[in-house]
Chains A and B, each alone.
Chain A
Amino acid sequence: MKLLNVYRSEPNDDVKKLVEIVSKDRDVVSFDLNVENPDYDKMLDMVFDADQTICWW
């Protein structure tokens, strides 16, 4: 199970806790959308490679 966590903003403590539980024992990568110029092409490569993507707030 390959999981991609995408962050649209800085995660709060509750989001960090949820990510920790959801990510446990899984192959996990992350992508930060909360930057001035996100590399959407790279993000999509990661989305295509993942079994599941979660776009946190």
Chain B
Amino acid sequence: MSKKACFLFVNKEYTLDGIRSALGLAVENMYSYGVIMYNEFETISDYHKENIEWVRDMEGDIFTTVDANVEKLGLTKITLEEIGEKLRDMDIIVPYGIMRSDKS
């Protein structure tokens, strides 16, 4: 049975490469998810947009707690409580990179 993994991204400088890691697990036949917390992205490159689309094509998704990312990037909205519930269903949980205290 395919494993389920969820990455949590809390630092802007670590997020887009982290999504590449999430895609890496999707191509390894896992259900792979990511959640972008705190940080807003005005735009992202076509390369990174494609990575998100590939994750979705392989039955994963990239969620965000930030409304602007839903509007500008078309990401799926999720609340903190919903993240917690989702994590309960995961085999692998990846608090990715480093935490930023300023939440910028």
Binding site for B on A (CB under 8 A): 9, 12, 14-15, 17-18, 20-22, 24, 52, 54-57
Docked-complex contact B84 and A57, CB < 8 angstroms: no
- Inter-chain CA distance A12–B99, complex, in Å, is 9
Determine if B10 is an interface residue (Cβ-Cβ < 8 Å).
yes
Docked-complex contact B84 and A20, CB < 8 angstroms: yes
Known A14-B37, A14-B80, A57-B10; judge A22-B87 contact (CB<8 A).
Answer: yes
Docked-complex contact B88 and A57, CB < 8 angstroms: no
Query: Chain B, interface size: which category?
Result: 10 to 19
Docked-complex contact A21 and B81, CB < 8 angstroms: yes
Q: How far does the Cβ of B10 sit from chain A's closest Cβ, in whole Å?
A: 7
Q: Give which listed residue, B80, B93, B98, contacts A54 with CB less than 8 A.
A: B93
- Inter-chain CA distance A9–B98, complex, in Å, is 10
Determine if B85 is an interface residue (Cβ-Cβ < 8 Å).
yes
- Inter-chain CA distance A21–B87, complex, in Å, is 9
